[in-house]
A and B are shown apart, each in its own frame.
Chain A
């Protein structure tokens, strides 16, 4: 036994100079590959488990299953779109900084031996796929309880193709935002601002739910929402720490910042709500967790521990005020607060990355507080460009969808009865 170990060590030492001599060429690293396969599975879970329960629990009882169904089909549709043309549009060879082209249509030319950095290209593509899936599913949070299922299906396909893929290309696919030096570690602009703004636009076009502002619209189950938030939190370690694309100390640093920010945001939301509304609600704690995770997403692999606490506390406060005050003041019906949490806290995180990015954590990013004031401007441009592109393109796609599915909104009678029975013919629970 002992001799076998020593032979192994000697063998590894012999290999060392060889592998460093080959470092210029791409070499598969099995540790990185294993971590990215696990991360992909973690991020996958965030959509049909984490987000489905988080949103399903917050929607009214009569629409719980419809919310789950929409989340599931968003995942399924995006999975297929991604392997057909989505991955190619986002990560294919760059065309003028705008889009990736169709070279990798249906994964053409990608073999099990293809590498992206130190991991197989197919693993990289799958990891990126899970981000596309959750981004479009996040949009749901603004519009549950009233959108036609057929319209949602068509919208999902169009939106992933014409909104998600270009933006993912700009930031992560060697597009113009990457060229400008915008920092987005795991998707503050690509995922959260993108989904939050799209959700707001879709909510404004769809209009308010019948009875909004008059009837009480209570969550069907805060217990499910809390479980969903916990699964999102768990999956987010793959989302953020996996975005290092390697299994190293940077992944660990992103993991640390992610967990710390989520915890700080949950506490901030809880204490603020307790002070202002007199009750520390479980829905508030769960929402705070998500607000903190959203805000740290663009910053996770760039900032240190202190910044992650500050970002978390700010996200908890901003999330609470967006949901409890801003929505009421402006009067839009963002049913489950996709804009209030993802749009607002995503923006906060993208700006905070421009402030707190610490070259000692990651040499790829230096923020204002470390002597690079220009970074904040770059972040601002990337936020505004993302929000503007998403708003305009989403609006166009909404009208295309509306024309093709003859209306976006369910019939009034079905909205009143509830979409679980009207659309799916099922009930979430048989209680009685």
Chain B
């Protein structure tokens, strides 16, 4: 069985998370720049006396597909590396993955990841 781990983290933590995952042998990941908000949504800021609402804050989304036996370790490492203790550290989502195929060779399942 395979799981997909989606982690939304602070942009400046990307390198730490990547290194932490490399250290436990994770081979690949997909990264995208995203914007979003969580519980701190809609806070107001003031620029030169003019207020504005910050709806969406820039974040990095990391997607990794792993064999189920590695899942807990991967989640723990991401959490450890992305942690600052301040609001906006992000979230980690885990979903089941039905199939994986390596395009070049046609390998499937955990062999493909």
Contacts and interface: CB of A to CB of B under 8 A. Distances in A.
A214 B49 contact: no
A256 B15 CA distance: 53
B48 interface: yes
A327 interface: yes
A322 B19 CA distance: 49
B50 A327 contact: yes
A215 interface: yes
B49 A216 contact: no
Contacts of A215: 52-53
B20 to A, nearest CB: 31
Output the residue of B46, B47, B48, B49 with the most chain A CB within 10 A: B48
B49 A213 contact: no
Interface string A267-283: 00000000000000001
Nearest to A217: B50
A134 to B, nearest CB: 22
A184 interface: no
B80 interface: no
A328 B47 contact: no
A216 B45 contact: yes
Nearest to B51: A213
Contacts, number: 35
Nearest to A211: B52
A324 B48 CA distance: 5
Interface string A322-352: 0111111000010001001000000000000
A399 interface: no
Contacts of A217: 47, 50, 52
Interface in B25-73: 45-54
Contact of A328 (B46, B53, B54): B46
A369 interface: no
A370 interface: no
A324 B49 contact: yes
A365 to B, nearest CB: 34
A214 B46 contact: no
Contacts of A340: 49
B52 A337 contact: no
A218 B47 contact: yes
Contacts of B47: 216-218
Contacts of A212: 50
A328 B52 contact: no
Interface in A187-227: 212-218
A217 B45 CA distance: 11
B45 A328 contact: no
Contacts of A327: 49-50
Contacts of B45: 216
Nearest to B53: A214
Nearest to A333: B50
A300 to B, nearest CB: 28
Contacts of A324: 46, 48-49
Contacts of B46: 324, 328
A216 B48 CA distance: 10
A407 B54 CA distance: 33
Nearest to A277: B46
Nearest to A218: B47
Nearest to B52: A216
B48 A213 contact: no
A337 B49 CA distance: 10
A217 B52 CA distance: 8
A212 B54 CA distance: 13
Contacts of B54: 216
Contacts of A337: 48-49
A218 B45 CA distance: 12
A136 B54 CA distance: 35
16 contacts: A213-B50, A214-B51, A214-B52, A215-B52, A215-B53, A216-B45, A217-B52, A218-B47, A324-B49, A327-B49, A328-B46, A328-B50, A333-B50, A337-B48, A337-B49, A340-B49
Given A217-B52, A218-B47, 19 more contacts: A212-B50, A213-B50, A214-B51, A214-B52, A214-B53, A215-B52, A215-B53, A216-B45, A216-B47, A216-B52, A217-B47, A283-B48, A324-B46, A324-B49, A327-B50, A328-B46, A328-B49, A337-B48, A337-B49
